Structure 1
């Protein structure tokens, strides 16, 4: 091997490592969606939480939101917030995320957890640009997506988003 080949290989390994570390760092963190109710330019007013735009779909900051009927007949959204989890049959971290989000939703009177299996629902994966599971959307009471979490949520990420929706005032006293 020549010195140039060694340097190219080292540069590629270094670049791949940096990209992998940046991707890993972003996993499990909440990304707020663009919403006209947020700061100037529709961006999140929190500097620690970046914003995303889900495109021209009316669910990402428009007046319309998702409907229970978009996901099936046995789906019920919460009165104040919904933790909408997208899973697949082959996802290894989905069961733990399902348990964690379910337990979290039980702590609130007006928050529901909904798990949608994407194994046979490619249409939903395409519609919401879901490239990994679990992916969790946090919906407000109107069914609008307020945050998106790719991967298993980090501790405190969902709780912080629920607090941002002001649902902490209805914490059940029996837990």
Structure 2
């Protein structure tokens, strides 16, 4: 299980991204957004996701990077294929993960959400280690941010339909919810 202190996971690898904004106090964290990412697309491992979130992606490494190396994006955490968690932005701040988004009529989801990236693609099954780490992380987040509930955990595709497809058909929501419920038993 994880420990959160001052918005940071005590037990995770930390790489502080410059791509964040302070969260306004009137925006209580009430949404969890699940994403996926792989860099280059469809390839796993390597430093490139961290490089992107830190603003250090070398455009010469891969032709795809020429399109994205200047993006200023981040997520609160990344869960690697082996279940390792890396944190980039304090949960008390806004990571730049959602983009143009809307949840139940509320726009600008970055204002009130936590973004978790899973290393993967829409069509590649996620690993048991990723599900286990995600479930443990979500349980801990719910302790610190109790407005995150079963009804406020969504995919990026749910808050940006037509623009985003992640975490994709490969993410097994029933399995995730079952594992989450089994921790309470």
TM-score normalised by structure 1 residue count: 0.27
Tell me which protein shows more helix as a share of its residues.
1
Structure with higher Rg: it is: 1
Q: TM-score, normalised by structure 2?
A: 0.26
